[in-house]
Amino acid sequence: MDIIVIEDLWKVYKNGIEALRGISLRVREGEVFSFLGPNGAGKTTTIKILSCILKPTKGKVTVAGYEVPKDCKKIREIVSVVPQEFQGFSDLTVRENIQYFAKLYKVNNVDDVIEELGLKEHQNKKFGELSGGLKRRVAIACGIIGNPKLIYLDEPTVGLDPKSRRSIWEIVKSLKDKGITVFLATHYLDEAEKLSDRVAVIYKGKIVKLSTPSELVDEFKKENLEEAYLELMRQLEADDQ
């Protein structure tokens, strides 16, 4: 079953900039789907439309069968967004931050989520005093507290050390194991290759590739996804000249 369906989606801002130019894609329920592309390609705009922050200019978008923007109230009940710059409450503890989001969703599973994200020994520390890796874990904890069907992770490991990055990877895998669909926007190609069932590459507002990581590697006859992606970017930039 497809949990996200996008058909000929356009987003044109008031200044005339075409952030999205007719993209179409489908995301299957329960998969890890990575959205790749350079800065300004349209990744964040797409996520904002899917999560009902922005309205599309034209095109059809459905999330779990609900239409954007008509059914946004229902969509917000089943999706969660963890932005790159998660703004936690610095003076509140880890537990208090998670409790705040639990109250918003009217749930009572704080202890379970703290245990699941490996935050028990840190639960009484203030958010502002945490390392980058722990802050990211708290962000994801706040994102899954409402038991979403779909979670958008925007650059979840940017700026983290290798050990912290790997811990976030394990969390992403555990979300998939629970049946949660993960829509991952990342610049780290090793991350996308390790975690993703499929990847889409967006370039200047258009989807230019949609495949599995291994298919993309084979297509460009490279050893890994990063090299394949860089070759694709080289070809696209050459075509622009």
Q: What is the DSSP string of 67-104?
A: EETTTHHHHHHHEEEE-TT----TTSBHHHHHHHHHHH
Is-contact 186 217, C-beta < 8 A?
Answer: no
Omega before 69 within 30 of 0, i.e. cis:
yes
SS3 (DSSP) at 38? coil
Whole-number pLDDT of residue 159: 87
Whole-number pLDDT of residue 241: 76
- All residue ranges of the chain with pLDDT < 50 are none
Domain of 30, CATH number, reads: 3.40.50.300
Is the pTM for the entire model greater than 0.85? yes
Is-contact 166 17, C-beta < 8 A?
Answer: no
Whole-number pLDDT of residue 219: 97
CA dihedral over 178, 134, 151, 200, signed as positive or negative: negative
Range of the domain at 230: 2-240
Query: Nearest 5 degrees, angle CA 145-CA 149-CA 152?
Result: 80
Whole-number pLDDT of residue 240: 86
pLDDT tens per residue across span 98-152: 999 999 999 999 999 999 999 999 999 999 999 999 999 999 999 999 999 999 9
Look up residue 106 and give its DSSP letter.
Answer: T
Six token digits for residue 184: 């991952």
CA distance 52 to 225: 31
CA distance 33 to 125: 33
Query: Nearest 5 degrees, angle CA 74-CA 173-CA 104?
Result: 35
Question: What domain count does the chain have?
Answer: 1
CA distance 97 to 91: 9
